Structures are given as C-alpha cells and as structure tokens.
C-alpha cells in the first residue's frame, strides 16, 4: 500500500491490532447469546464458562492487515492464504463440534502437503545440523510436512492457561518480524507484524478475569501455529542464502530456541502418555504450565516464567551461534531436559513426596524398554 516497507510493516501491526481489539467485544456478545462457551471439566483449569473463538478476531486482524500491506512481496501468497483459511475453518469446526484427532490430523496433513508441493516453502537444508546440509526433494517434502504439523499441534497444546499461547506467539513473531525487516524480506515482516498485532490486542482480553474474558480456541491456536510454521521455514531458508544480510550460522537452533517450550513440552507429554499406555492424543494435565499452577503460580505468573524461559533459550542460541549446529542443538536439549526435571522435582517436593527423581529420564528409559 505504501512505498516505504517499514511504513507497511508498522501499519500492518497497528491495523491488525485495531481490528482484533475492535471485534473481540462483539464476538464475546455473540458467543454469549449462542452459548458457545468453553465449559469447565476434569481437564480444564477454568472454573466457569468462558467464551471461546477469540481466534476469529485474531485471524480477521491478521488476514485483513496482511492483504492490505503485503504489497506483492510474498510469492505464492494465494496458497498461504488458502492454507490459513482451511486451518481457520478446521479450528472453528473443532471449537463447535470437537472433531476427532485423526480427522483433524488428516486435514492438517493435506494443508501441509499443499504448502510443501505448491510453494517454495520447503526445508531444503539443515545448515549443518547433524552434519547435513542440502536435502533431496524426496526428503525435503516429507520433512516440511512433518515440521508444519508438529509446530501447529505443539502450539495448540500450550494454549492451556491464560496468556501463554498468545505471549509465545508474540515473542516469535516480533523476533521473526524484526529479522525479516533487517534481512529485507518485507512480505514476511508484514505477515509477522500482522500476527503480532492481532495477538497483542487479544492478550488483555485473554488475561481478563471479568466480563470480557475470551479464549482463542483451536480457531486461533491452529491458525497461528500454521503461520508460525510458515515463518519458521522461511526464516531458515532465507538464512541459507549466502546473499542474505545478517545471517545466522545456525538458524534451525535459533528457531528451536524460539519454539522450545511448545516443541519440547509436546515431546515430553507424548513420552509420559505413551509410557502410561495411553494415546499421545489423550489430553491430560501433565504440561509444564499445569505443573507451575500446581506449584501455586497464577496463570499470569506461570505465563511470564515460561515466556521468559523461552526468551532465555533464544538468547542462548544466539550467543552460541558460532558453534556447530549439532552442539547448540545438544546444549538446548540438555537444558530443556534439566528444566523439566527441575519443575518435576519442585512439584514432588511441594506435594510432600519422600523421594525426588528425574522423572523425565525414568519415563524415557521405560518407553525405550517397551519399544526396544
């Protein structure tokens, strides 16, 4: 819309925030009239009915703002928009009728495959991680599909307490947005700014304890998760180009640092569930944010701790960027495991348990024995 890329980026942020902020009260009103609440239950933390579908405002703010200001900078934009619309309606249907996990996964697979085949949004290099650089197409396509599905669902899983998913999304998109602007990839800077603006406007409503409280629901978490996956893939691919200014030597580990909380927590919870002979899709209260709540933290404080931890991991990854990617990956993984063990031990100690164990290690060994 404007000749100045920076003006487009800033305008995208402001317009997305305004649309999201302006539309949420109306969405809450309609949800209350239609009684489309997220109701309390055994696995739910909230104690009263709360309006959901805040994702409608997030998606609306993002989509309108992005289309207004992207200004032709993004190739295959039609595919990106189509994919996000499909995931938006998938999340909307799940919020309304609670779809079976396998059906959701099938749609997610189709969308991820569409992106991998119809665009240049593919992981074509691991930038030296595990000694691997360029990837053949037959490896690149399934890996891209896997990463998109993984990030979508991992982000969806952390939407369990007030403010956490939105704050992690803001952290990642602000980081990506600033870097894309510096690297002169203005279209993806606009996309990142649009998501960040919509999430920042949504956050106060999500954190509210009063009449205007709302959850983003799968409508929001799946859509934002998809867009984070797309931004992550583009970030890594642009960094692989020698012509890119301000390149990171190990962009994959920078992305891992940004998304360490949802990715590691999803892996950790899956291991716990499988070790207990339950489906990895079976919902429970074993996420790290649940542990912090059981330790006595409020929703807001737990979100602050986890977002600050994620920011710390990003900082560590950036400081170690000159090391070998495999070394950085290993360091981040060890730190994440130690953090998980620490929170488990704190929880055991606070509950009066006599013995304190590194449960994550025990669960991993038990799973290995079952599958070995």
CA distances from 114 to 47, 80, 257 (A): 40, 9, 27
pLDDT for res 45: 57
The model scores a pTM over 0.85: yes
Distance (Å, whole) CA 208 – CA 16: 20
Domain span holding position 255: 5-371
> What ranges in 295-324 are assigned the alpha helix state H?
299-319
Mean pLDDT along residues 52-80: 93
Token match 């009239």: residue? 33
Burial grade of 354 (CB within 10 A; 0-12, 13-18, 19 or more): exposed
Look at 121-135, 246-260, 270-284 and tell me which has the smallest mean pLDDT.
Answer: 270-284
Are 61 and 178 within 8 A, CB to CB?
no
Are 138 and 93 within 8 A, CB to CB?
no
Distance (Å, whole) CA 23 – CA 1: 23
Helices vs. strands in the chain: H and E counts, helices first: 14, 2
- β-bridge partners, 51: 37
Closest CA to 309 of 129, 146, 158, 130: 158
pLDDT tens-place string over residues 233-253: 999 999 988 677 788 999 999
The DSSP letter of residue 351 is T
pLDDT at residue 268 is higher than 50? yes
pLDDT band at 352 (very low <50, low <70, confident <90, very high): low
The whole-chain average pLDDT of the chain stands at 88
pLDDT for res 339: 87
Count: domains in the chain = 1
> Quick one: tokens of 107?
């749609």
pLDDT at residue 358 is higher than 50? no
Closest CA to 80 of 261, 302, 230: 230
Number of residues written out for the chain: 372
Are 53 and 219 within 8 A, CB to CB?
yes
């Amino acid at each position: 819309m404007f000749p100045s890329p920076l003006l487009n980026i800033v305008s995208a942020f402001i317009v997305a925030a305004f649309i999201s902020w302006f539309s949420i009260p109306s969405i809450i009103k309609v949800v209350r009239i239609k009684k489309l609440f997220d109701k309390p239950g055994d696995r739910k933390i909230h104690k009263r009915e709360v309006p959901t579908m805040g994702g409608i405002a997030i998606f609306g703010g993002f989509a309108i703002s992005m289309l207004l200001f992207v200004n032709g900078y993004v190739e295959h934009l039609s595919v990106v928009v189509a994919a996000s619309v499909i995931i938006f309606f998938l999340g909307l249907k799940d919020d309304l009728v609670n779809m079976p996990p396998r059906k959701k996964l099938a749609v997610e697979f189709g969308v991820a495959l569409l992106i991998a085949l119809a665009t240049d949004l593919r992981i074509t290099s691991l930038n030296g991680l595990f000694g691997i650089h360029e990837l053949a197409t037959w490896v690149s396509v399934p890996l891209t599909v896997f990463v998109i599905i993984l990030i979508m669902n991992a982000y969806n899983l952390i939407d369990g307490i007030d403010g956490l998913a939105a704050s992690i999304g803001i952290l990642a998109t602000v980081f990506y947005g600033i870097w894309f602007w510096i690297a002169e990839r203005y279209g993806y800077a606009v996309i990142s700014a649009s998501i960040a603006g919509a999430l920042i406007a949504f956050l106060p409503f999500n954190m509210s304890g009063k009449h205007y409280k709302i959850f983003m629901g799968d409508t929001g978490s799946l859509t934002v998760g998809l867009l984070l996956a797309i931004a992550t893939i583009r970030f890594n691919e642009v960094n692989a180009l020698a012509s890119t200014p301000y390149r990171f030597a190990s962009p994959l580990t920078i992305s891992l640092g940004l998304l360490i909380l949802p990715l590691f927590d999803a892996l950790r919870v899956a291991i716990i569930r499988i070790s207990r002979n339950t489906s990895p899709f079976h919902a429970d209260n074993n996420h790290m944010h649940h542990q912090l709540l059981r330790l006595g933290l409020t929703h807001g404080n737990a979100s602050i701790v986890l977002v600050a931890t994620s920011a710390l991991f990003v900082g560590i990854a950036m400081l170690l960027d000159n090391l070998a990617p495999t070394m950085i990956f290993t360091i981040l993984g060890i730190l994440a495991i130690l953090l998980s063990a620490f929170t488990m031990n704190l929880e055991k100690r606070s509950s009066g348990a006599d013995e304190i164990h590194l449960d994550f290690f025990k669960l991993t060994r038990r799973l290995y024995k079952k599958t070995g």
